[in-house]
Amino acid sequence: MKKSQSIPWRIGIVLVICLMTMMIISFFYTPFGPNEMNTGSRLEAPSFSHPFGTDNFGRDILSRVMQGAQTAFLIGTSSVFIGLMFGFILGASAGYFGGWVDEIIMRFIDAMLAFPGILLAIMLISVFEPGLKNTIIAIGIMSVPGFTRIIRSSFIQYKTYDFVKASVAKGAGALRIIYHHILPNAFSPILVAATLSFSGAILGESGLSYLGLGVQPPDPSWGRMLKEAQPFIVTAPWYVIIVGVIITMMVLGFNLLGDGIRDKQDTKA
């Protein structure tokens, strides 16, 4: 593997590890209480005591960004999990069984794809009520079609391989073939899709929270912070810039990571 190819992947790793460390530290320590208001120090520029400055309620932005990382990772992980679980069931059945099963599942997925993801999420959240749990479910459902299609295509590909035919000949059941023979081989595209979908989930959450539909105040979420920073874009530009850069770092980190994993697989194949 050429060295130049691995640089983006290394940057991705570094970004993700940095943010993850920040998230882990926030469980034990934040410089200030994330919701602690100090009206005496509103909209302060970055300084030694507040490295990222303070917001319009005098809350420490660094502490809120750290706490917000928990929300981001929680939403990323759990919505990818939901998407992966349903995507696997649907994609594996469609790909492996083919025929009318495939037809029904894929038309259903097409119908879901017909709606832009975020619109679907907004619709779901308006029907139920906004909050962390429903945000996760909505973003999870939003990512089901993507997973289904990727998993289906690798199942269609591997289904025709000789080792699968051999197991069929030996009398192995469908479930056994799906889990023991095809899944391990389809692992790498799934991993790539999962990593990329993680960053998609974080963007989705930021978008929903920005619209006021995601995480509810006063709990910090990066999207909400962006929304709250907006009126102060001229008077306190660091607020919106810092939050924007953090979201960019997170999304970029996971994108680079996903790309890197895919490239590594490519060279191996």
Smallest separation (angstroms) from another protein to the CB of 101: 34
CB 237 to another protein: min, Å:
6
Among 251, 256, 197, which residue's Cα sits nearest to residue 10?
Answer: 256
List Cβ neighbours of 117 (8 Å cut-off, separation of 6 or more): 142, 143, 204
What is the nearest approach in angstroms of another protein to the Cβ of residue 40? 9
C-alpha neighbours within 13 Å on the C-beta side of residue 145: 16
- The least distance separating another protein from the CB of residue 9, rounded to whole angstroms, comes to 8
List all residues 6 or more positions away from 138 whose beta carbon is below 8 Å from its beta carbon: 120, 121, 124, 125, 208
Pick between residue 166 and residue 245 the one whose CB is nearest to another protein: 245
Burial class of residue 97, CB neighbours in 10 A (0-12, 13-18, 19+): middle
Q: How many CB atoms lie within 10 A of CB 169?
A: 9
Give 157 or 262: the residue with its C-beta nearer to another protein. 262
The residue count of the chain comes to 269
Q: Residue 147 Cβ, how far from another protein at the closest point, in Å? A: 22
Residue with smaller CB distance to another protein, 49 or 230? 230
Cα 112 to Cα 107: distance, rounded to the nearest angstrom: 9
d(CA 200, CA 138): 13
Record the tokens describing residue 198, joined without a space.
Answer: 């993680």
Q: How far is the CB of 15 from another protein (least distance, A)?
A: 11
Q: Which residues would be at the binding site for another protein (CB under 8 A)? A: 5, 7-8, 35-37, 39, 42, 56-58, 126, 129-130, 212, 216-218, 230-235, 237, 241, 244, 248, 252, 255-256, 259, 263
Residue 55 or 102 with smaller CB distance to another protein: 55
- For another protein, give the closer residue by CB, 115 or 263: 263
| Residue tagged 């269609």 (tokens) | 156
76 with 202: CB under 8 angstroms?
Answer: yes
In the complex with another protein, the residue whose CB is nearer, 49 or 126, is: 126
